[in-house]
Amino acid sequence: MEYQLNRIRIWIEDDYAALSKRAADIIKNQVDAMPNTVLGLATGSTPEGTYSELVRLYKTGAVDFSKVVSFNLDEYFPIKKTNEQSYYYFMRKHLFDNVNISEANTHIPNGEAEDRVAECDAYDKKIASYGGVDLQLLGIGGNGHIGFNEPSDVFVAGTHHIELDASTIEANARFFASTEDVPKHSLTMGIRTIMSAKRILLLASGSGKAEAIHKTIFGDITPKVPASVLQLHPDATIILDKEAARLIVGKLS
Ligand code: F6R
């Protein structure tokens, strides 16, 4: 089902597979219409299905990434590219190694940077040099974070270095041998960087995201729920499965 709430378009799909297919179709259509699209990409469990559907579409010849440019939202800091939990490694495994995107066109904040401030400044400049992101894919934290913009008293504008929330470290510990192994910091696009994207596509799956989704769509616009800022975006789409939509379905018509 599709709903329009103020400026946000909301799709509620039966399950994760349908959500992933819907998201991949939107990305495919964007790339078809504009082959040199600048894609903003996310990592984590949520977009894995979208990436495997895009790989499937690519293998059938339905989509061509040869001119696509990509910028990932974030990376742990510090982390080596060879670490299997780095987002650098994740993107290669789930997308880049399986489609015809040119490696030179892919960008991820450098978790090995010696000067993290310079790395963040350079990242924003590089995005601007490509004319900005055309379509930004986002997941959402159970605490409402987007990228690694954690709940805070202020919205931080550009790409920056941030200390991860205890709840985020806990949530991401499932990927590491132990909670202690989760890096405590990350480099992340800021809220201005994300909001500058021409289109935004946020995905959420599972009941653990329901409260964050409810606050994002119906709550106050506040840095305490970073995703709530999307209410101000002129072209934001949110795709949910039934579990993630469980607290909002009754309020949509
Ligand atoms: C990842 C990112 C994060 C995740 C969020 C949800 O690049 O920016 O904001 O999207 O933590 O993670 P999952 O999908 O693993 O629930």
Section 203-226 average pLDDT: 98
Burial bucket for residue 219 (CB in 10 Å: 0-12, 13-18, 19+):
middle
Active-site annotation holder among 124, 134, 145, 172: 145
- Digit-coded pLDDT (tens) for 144-198: 999 999 999 999 899 999 999 999 999 999 999 999 999 999 999 999 999 999 9
pLDDT, mean over the chain: 96
Residue 72 bears catalytic tag: no
- Digit-coded pLDDT (tens) for 66-104: 999 999 999 999 999 999 999 999 999 999 999 999 999
Q: Cα of 148 to ligand 1 centre, how many Å?
A: 8
pLDDT on residue 37: 98
How far lies 245's CA from each of 115, 137, 207, 217, in Å? 41, 18, 8, 11
Residue 74 bears catalytic tag: yes
Q: Name which residue sits closest to atom 1 of ligand 1, judged by CA.
A: 43
How far, in Å, CA of 120 to CA of 192, rounded? 13
pLDDT on residue 156: 87
Q: How confident is the model at residue 49 (pLDDT cuts 50, 70, 90)?
A: very high
Q: Cα of 42 to ligand 1 centre, how many Å?
A: 7
DSSP the chain: -EEEETTEEEEEESSHHHHHHHHHHHHHHHHHH-TT-EEEE--SSTTHHHHHHHHHHHHTTS---TT-EEEESEEEES--TTSTTSHHHHHHHHTGGGS---GGGEE---TT-S-HHHHHHHHHHHHHHTTS-SEEEE---TT--BTTB-S-SS---SSEEEEPPHHHHHHHGGGSSSGGGS-SEEEE--HHHHHTSSEEEEEE-SGGGHHHHHHHHHS---TTSGGGGGGG-TTEEEEEETTTTTTTGGG--
How far, in Å, CA of 58 to CA of 49, rounded? 14
Q: Across-strand partners of 236?
A: 8, 200
pLDDT on residue 6: 83
Active-site annotation holder among 13, 119, 150, 241: 150
How far, in Å, CA of 193 to CA of 77, rounded? 19
Q: Cα of 86 to ligand 1 centre, how many Å?
A: 13
Q: Name 246's Cβ contacts closer than 8 Å, sequence gap at least 6.
A: 207, 210
